[in-house]
Amino acid sequence: MHAKLNQDKTDWSPFPYLQEADVISVQRGPEAGGAAGGWRALRETMRGMKTTFARLVEGPVTLQYPEEKTAVYPRFRGRHKLHRFTDTGLEKCVGCSLCAAACPADCIRVVARENDPDDRVSAGERYAEVYEINLARCIFCGYCEIACPFDAITMGHDYEMADYNRADLIFTKEMLLAEPIERAPLKREGE
């Protein structure tokens, strides 16, 4: 290291710590305490207060949750939804388990089954007999949505999922398919 630093030096010495280039001088402010210190504290406090008072005139921004709810962005990743085809009413999910494979939290469980041609559940050969997401474990990464080859699962906007019981956080296929109560308002353009 030192050899490099001293390359342009003509009087190269075998004792690099004596070289001038190694001397670092540190700039320090005035010592704390005393009048200078007091002044500095006051100045910083005033600077903070300026911000505070400036916000004051903007009025309160507190949301009266749960009466009022935070609006979310359209791409917000909230609780999942499973979808049906609008025309046939069949489930889009074919139980392929790709979402389960993609899920980094390992919280999706799919057990597939063969469709009965006379009583179809999904459009393909197979359907998900069991489809469960353990929302207590989900990290809302949205990988499942990306993995799904049929857009059968999407992330909704609902973020109100607290419950008293962990077991209640396991959402079954019926719960995920049900038309969710849209509680979370969307942010408006430009908001």
Partner 1 sequence: MVEPIRELVTITVDGREITAPEGQMLHDAAKSGDVEIPVFCYEPKLGEPVGACRMCLVEIEGIPKLQTSCSTPIRDGMVVHTKTDQVKEAQNAVVEFLLVNHPLDCPVCDKGGECPLQDISMGWGPGKSRFTDVKRHFQKPIELSPLIALDRERCILCYRCVRFSQEVAEDEQLQLLERGDRTFVGTFDDRPYDDPYHGNVIELCPVGALTTYTYRFRARPWDIEDAGSVCTLCSSQCNVKFSIRDEEVLRVLARDNEDVDDGWLCDKGRFGFQSFGSEDRITQPMLRGGDGELSPISWDDALSRVTKALKSSGEKTAVLAGGGTSNEEGWLLGRVLREGLAGNAIDSGAHPADAGAVRGLSNPALTARMRDIDHAGAVLVLGADPRNEMPICDLRIRKGVRRNGVRLAVATDSPTALDRRAHAVGRYLPGAAAGFISQLAGEIRSEGSSSGPDAEAVAALATELRGAEDVVVVWGEELWSEPRAISALMDLATVLGIEGTETSGLIEIPTEANGRGLREVGCLPGASAGLAEAPAGPGVSEFCEKLRDGSLETILLADSDPVRTHPDGEGWKQALGNAFVIAISSFETPSASLANLVIPAENFSEKEGTITHPEGRLQRVRRNVPPPDGLLPTWNFLAAVATELGVDCGFSDQPGLFTAMTSSNGLYQGITEEDLAGQGVRWQDREGAAGRVPAGGATPQMAAPTSAPGSAGAPDSIRLGTRRDLWAAEVAERSPALEFLVPMQSLEISIPDAERLGLKQGQAVEVSAGDGASVEAKVAIREAMIPGAAFLICGARDGNGNLLTGAVPGSRTIRIEVATPVGQTENT
Name the site residues for partner 1 (rule: CB under 8 A). Answer: 94-98, 100-101, 110-114, 124-126, 149-150
Nearer of residues 45 and 88 to partner 1, judged by Cβ = 88
Confirm or reject binding of residue 147 to ligand SF4 (CB under 6 A): yes
Sign of CA dihedral 118, 180, 105, 144: positive
Confirm or reject binding of residue 176 to ligand SF4 (CB under 6 A): no
Alpha carbons 174 and 131: distance in angstroms, whole number: 9
Nearer of residues 79 and 92 to partner 1, judged by Cβ = 92
Contacts with ligand SF4, 110-129, as mask; x by CB under 6 A: x-----------------x-
Confirm or reject binding of residue 175 to ligand SF4 (CB under 6 A): no
Confirm or reject binding of residue 143 to ligand SF4 (CB under 6 A): yes
Nearer of residues 95 and 184 to partner 1, judged by Cβ = 95
Please tell me what DSSP assigns to residue 180. Answer: -
Nearer of residues 125 and 182 to partner 1, judged by Cβ = 125
Neighbour count for residue 94 (Cβ, 10 Å) = 23
Q: Identify what 121 binds: ligand SF4, partner 1, none; CB under 5 to 8 Å per kind.
A: none
Three-state secondary structure call for residue 79: coil
DSSP readout, 9-73?
Answer: -SS--S-GGGSGGG--PPP--PPSSHHHHHHHHHHHHHHHHHHHHHHHTT------TTTS---B-
Q: Evaluate whether 19 touches 9 at the Cβ level (below 8 Å).
A: yes
Nearer of residues 107 and 121 to ligand SF4, judged by Cβ = 107
Neighbour count for residue 95 (Cβ, 10 Å) = 25
Residues in touch with ligand SF4 (CB under 6 A): 93-99, 102-105, 107-108, 110, 128, 133, 138-144, 147-148, 150, 152-153
